[in-house]
Amino acid sequence: MRPHADRRPVLRPPHDLRHAGKGPGFEPEAVRPHVRALLAPGAGTRRRCLGPQGLSGPPVPAPRGRPDHAVEALGHPVPLPSPSSAGAGPGAAVTLPFGWFQVGWIDDFEGGAAVPLEYLGRRLVAWLDRDQRLYVADAFCPHMGAHLGYGGKVVGDRLQCPFHNWEFGPDGRCVRVPYSDCVPSARLRTYPVDYVGDACFVWFHDDEAFLPQWDLPGEPAFVPQPGFPRYMREVSMFWQDVGENACDVAHFPSLHQTGDVSDFRVEGDGPHRTLTMRTPFSVGGERVDCRWTTEHYGPGIITNRVDVAGISICQTTAVTPIDDRRLHLRMSFGPIPARSDDLRNHLVARMFISRFMKNGDQDVPIFERKIYRDRPRVVGGDGPILDHRRWVAQFGDAASAIPVMPSTG
């Protein structure tokens, strides 16, 4: 575990699932006449910045009182079908995966109180000690069953139950009963925790003895670029659809109006898997050639490096199932490499990220209303969807364990 004692982040409770409000933005359509010159080689001499009304003034700062990396809602909320009526069908068997999953950012757990979490079908409690070390455990007290995430207090590195004030150490063992000299052998199940930058990850597996089997990715995509917010959203969808979406190359031109995908390659059979491809992409109304490198780190982490207009943009999507039909999507964008034309790079990145988020707004309403076809009728040109399902099955045999509705036609 890596302590964060030198940080003073702003409290942002993770259980506030939809953060209201829209942050600073811009309209690529408003600057379309300028985009072609901006994307052209040698465009770094332009010294104007993109503001809400187009090319005017300095880069837009975050609103007062919010850090540059504050969470914003991803797009506009849409009505969510209930998990029981979302098309899963009666008797559907759903397997939740194992692996590393993001449960928040370090500043989500500030404040000296226990924080309730619900992930992978589990009720959990998280607490941060005085050295900024995060601990995550099962939520219910082994004494009388109180939920430790509601009213629980942090005492040093211990978690105190709100019901009878029993205290539990970082390893989950009961270490103090205030009204008795007898300390029972009761314990909470705890989960391995690790960090990438400020992002906090927990290793989930049904077998407590099954320890982490692979490393987390490197840091760049998790360190927020100033001016580029982090995003978090609860979505009612199947967790498999997020990773599978990158392999569904046929939907890029039909839904997102990109050009056709070329040079598509897939490498890796273990927990780490890499996809590369080229596709024309619309940035500020102009088509530019993009090279994508998408890396999967188990079922819960997807990183993208996009080479566009002479710069590289790092982006990470963390997929954390709540249960078999709901998940949290967390997205962050890494720093743009500093160069002599970093102002131009900043503008290109903002336009690209705007387009990237628009793609998400197009995907999510479909995901929230679709069913999961256990035997999809794929055809040539769909992309390696079945190959991806074979790969993801190693994290819980999900590809064969989710018969939702029989395929027909």
In this prediction, residue 35 carries a pLDDT of 52
Residue pair 166/176 in contact by the 8 Å Cβ criterion: yes
Residue 59 to residue 61: CA distance in whole angstroms: 6
Sheet with 174-176, side-by-side order of all strands:
153-155, 158-160, 167-168, 174-176
Specify whether the CB–CB gap between 291 and 307 falls below 8 A. Answer: yes
**pLDDT score for 64:** 34
Structure confidence at residue 253 (pLDDT): 77
Q: Residue 362: is its pLDDT beyond 80?
A: yes
Backbone angles phi and psi of 248, in degrees to 5: -85, 75
Closest CA to 190 of 119, 123, 116, 138: 138
Rounded to whole angstroms, the Cα distance separating 328 from 102 reads 9
What is the predicted pLDDT for the residue at 125? 99
- The span from the CA of 42 to the CA of 84, in Å, is 55
Q: Give the pLDDT mean for 364-375.
A: 90
Residues 6+ apart with CB under 8 A from 151: 114, 162
Q: pTM to 2 decimals? A: 0.75
Is the predicted pLDDT of residue 398 greater than 50, yes or no?
A: no
Tens-place pLDDT, residues 110-167: 888 999 999 999 999 999 999 999 999 999 999 999 999 999 999 999 999 999 999 9
Report the 10 Å Cβ neighbour count for 22. 10
Give residue 47's pLDDT band: very low, low, confident or very high (50, 70, 90). very low
Give the DSSP H or E segment for 4: none
pLDDT band for position 341 (50/70/90)?
Answer: low
Best-predicted range by mean pLDDT among 124-133, 338-347, 368-377?
124-133
Per the model's pLDDT, the better-predicted residue between 380 and 85 turns out to be 380
Domains of the chain: 98-204 (2.102.10.10), 220-393 (3.90.380.10)
Amino acid at residue number 22: K
Lowest mean pLDDT among 31-35, 153-157, 346-350, 368-372: 31-35
Question: Mean pLDDT, to the nearest integer, of 258-271?
Answer: 84
Per the prediction, the chain carries an average pLDDT of 75
Predicted pLDDT at 200: 96
| pLDDT recorded at residue 116 | 98
Give the least confident one: 39-43, 168-172, 264-268, 356-360.
39-43
Average pLDDT over residues 168-186: 97
DSSP string across 361-404? HHHHHHHTT---BSS----TTS-SHHHHHHHHGGGTSHHHH---
Task: State whether the Cα torsion 371-374-379-384 is positive or negative.
Answer: positive
Tally of helices (H runs) and strands (E runs) in the chain: 6, 21
- DSSP, collapsed to helix, strand or coil, labels residue 109 as helix
**Cα 104 to chain center, whole Å?**
9
Residue-level pLDDT at 179: 97
Under 8 Å between Cβ of 30 and 246: no
Q: One-letter amino acid identity for 370?
A: K
pLDDT band at 225 (very low <50, low <70, confident <90, very high): low
Residue 317 pLDDT > 70, yes or no? yes
Provide the pLDDT for residue 37: 55
The mean per-residue pLDDT over the stretch 279-301 comes to 84
pLDDT higher than 60, residue 311? yes
Q: Minimum mean pLDDT among 232-241, 303-312, 343-352: which range?
A: 343-352
What pLDDT score was predicted for residue 79? 32
Residue 397 confidence (pLDDT) above 70: no
3-class state of residue 96 by DSSP: coil
pLDDT at 111: 83
pLDDT, tens digit, 9 for 90 and up, residues 66-100: 333 333 333 333 333 333 323 333 323 348 999 99
| Residue range 187-209, pLDDT digits in tens | 999 999 999 888 999 999 999 99
Q: Please tell me the number of Cα atoms within 13 Å of 305 on its side-chain side.
A: 16
pLDDT average, residue stretch 48-63: 32
